[in-house]
Amino acid sequence: MLPSSMLPMPATWGDLLGELGPVFRRRSTHRLFVLLASGMILAGRRTVVAMAAAAGIADQFRRACWFFSGAAWDIDALGLAVARLIVTCLVPAGQPVTVAVDGTFFRRWGRKVAEARWAYDGSAQGGKKIGYGNTWVIAAIVVKLPFCSSPAALPVLLRLWRGKGTPSQVELAAQMVKILAGAFPGRAVHGVGDAAFHGKPLIIEGTTWTTRLPASAVLYGPRPPRAGKRGRPRVKGARLGKPAQIAADATWQEVTVTCYGASTAVQASATAALWHGSFGTAPGRLVLVKEPGSARPCDLAIFTLDTAASPEAVIERYAWRWPIEPSNAAGKQIMGVGDACNRVAAAVERTVPFGFLVQSLLICWYARYAYDPADVARRRLLCPWYTTKTEPSTADMLARLRREFLTARFSAIRPGQTPPGQIPDYAWTCDTLAA
């Protein structure tokens, strides 16, 4: 049961965070987690002190800072608890768990920020995509929300890349996929990433990996059987060439796939192959995709270690990588992940994962307790420029939870009384304040 706090909160939100209690050794630490997670929902700028102030514990800001820099709790254990919650609530029984990985960059200022360095920054202005800060590798579970046409990515595990000479981003991704595979032994785990994530570390027992094939990659045929001759056996078949070369002689078939919320017909070709330069002798499959009317040899080349999946399944699985991009954007722009100004190593390693986990918990809460078609109508009323909006966004979910907090704080519901959230004028006012 959730310990009492100074912050009135919706019972459903409290129940959800209460399920994470076993992660923390002490009730007081769990209570502080609940308050700071709620403070992140309510705060404007999500610095640690702002979260504490929004949670009603501004006079305990040092304790709030200590929660990230010195308290005894494990961010991976918390992420795994959130992952189990996501799978239980949003992944149907018997269905595989799809894990998307991606790298993202957070700018930092100051020479004493732990693990800050000059690194690639895809959002940097100008021709030089470089910035000073922290680089994170994110593993998110991709789910199909019942009220959205496109899948959503919910971050659960993160790794801070510490620069050259340390485990690469591919190795960090492999660590997280392996941890998640161990957490769900009865389910298949399908990993997916963009062209930057490929290599032997991603060959993990009980999992598959799917990625986009670079145009310069060279593929080979499957490893031939031993011929009974003297000498070392061959480890790869004949050279197949680059994707464009393979596409020139490919046999195409029309398939219908559902990607990015829409069904479309494309031309596909599947070939058994080895990507020897990345995955060694691990058996794989090349799936080429050509869009209708395209003059290119192929528009997309996908390589997968799942040799049993159909071309349609491979194409749709790779499309499930995309939701991690808007998830990262929502984390930075809407949830304020990365606003915290930390220098101490422990705090740097905890605040960004904490923020993304709160984002995942928000989506879980909305899907489990709060979805209401009227939320979109209210948003279109407040923002009439959204003329085609039909589905709730992360911002809508955040506004809804903030409205529930306002209701819990200022409205005492008596037996037989209409819940304030169902009163249109009240709901509109709360949405305006919460947005």
In this structure, of 87-91, 291-295, 306-310, the range with the lowest mean pLDDT score is 291-295
- The full length of the chain comes to 435
Residue whose C-alpha is closest to residue 406's, from 392, 427, 375: 427
Is residue 361 within 8 Å of 81, Cβ to Cβ? no
Predicted confidence (pLDDT) at residue 378 exceeds the cutoff of 90: no
Is residue 365 within 8 Å of 13, Cβ to Cβ? yes
Is residue 179 within 8 Å of 173, Cβ to Cβ? no
What confidence category does residue 2 fall into, taking pLDDT thresholds of 50, 70 and 90?
A: very low
Which residue reads 């990262």 in tokens? 328
Alpha helices in 146-283 (DSSP H): 169-183, 243-248, 276-279
Instruction: Provide the pLDDT for residue 124.
Output: 74
Query: Collapsing DSSP states into helix, strand and coil, what is residue 361?
Result: helix
pLDDT tens per residue, range 406-433? 888 776 555 555 555 555 555 555 555 5
In this structure, of 45-54, 110-119, 235-244, 268-277, the range with the lowest mean pLDDT score is 110-119
Instruction: Provide the pLDDT for residue 3.
Output: 40
Query: Collapsing DSSP states into helix, strand and coil, what is residue 380?
Result: helix
243 vs 300: CA distance, rounded Å = 9
More confident position, 182 or 232: 182
In this structure, of 184-198, 258-272, 398-412, the range with the lowest mean pLDDT score is 398-412
Directed axis angle between helix 374-382 and helix 424-434, to 10°? Answer: 60
Please give the share of the chain, as a percent, with pLDDT higher than 70: 92
Which residue reads 């192929």 in tokens? 298
Is residue 412 within 8 Å of 13, Cβ to Cβ? no
Is residue 322 within 8 Å of 98, Cβ to Cβ? no
In this structure, of 101-110, 120-129, 165-174, the range with the lowest mean pLDDT score is 120-129
Which H or E run includes 16?
A: helix 11-18
Amino acid at site 279: F
Beta strands in 85-237 (DSSP E): 97-107, 117-120, 130-143, 152-161, 189-193, 207-212, 219-220
Overall pTM > 0.85: yes
397 vs 374: CA distance, rounded Å = 12
Q: What is the mean pLDDT of residues 77-98?
A: 96
- CB burial of 125-144 (b: ≥16 within 10 Å; e: otherwise) equals eeeeeebbbbbbbbbbbbbe
Q: What is the mean pLDDT of residues 234-254?
A: 92
3-state secondary structure 313-357: HHHHHHHCCCCHHHHHHHHHHCCCCCCCCCCCHHHHHHHHHHHHH
94 vs 181: CA distance, rounded Å = 14
Q: Measured over all CA atoms, what is the biggest interatomic distance in the chain, rounded to whole angstroms?
A: 88
Q: Tokens in use for 103?
A: 């790298």
Predicted confidence (pLDDT) at residue 204 exceeds the cutoff of 90: yes
More confident position, 140 or 379: 140
The backbone region for 201, taken as left when phi is positive above 0, alpha when psi lies in -120 to 50, beta otherwise, is alpha
Q: Tokens in use for 400?
A: 């809804």
* pLDDT mean across residues, the chain: 90
Q: Tokens in use for 3?
A: 């310990």
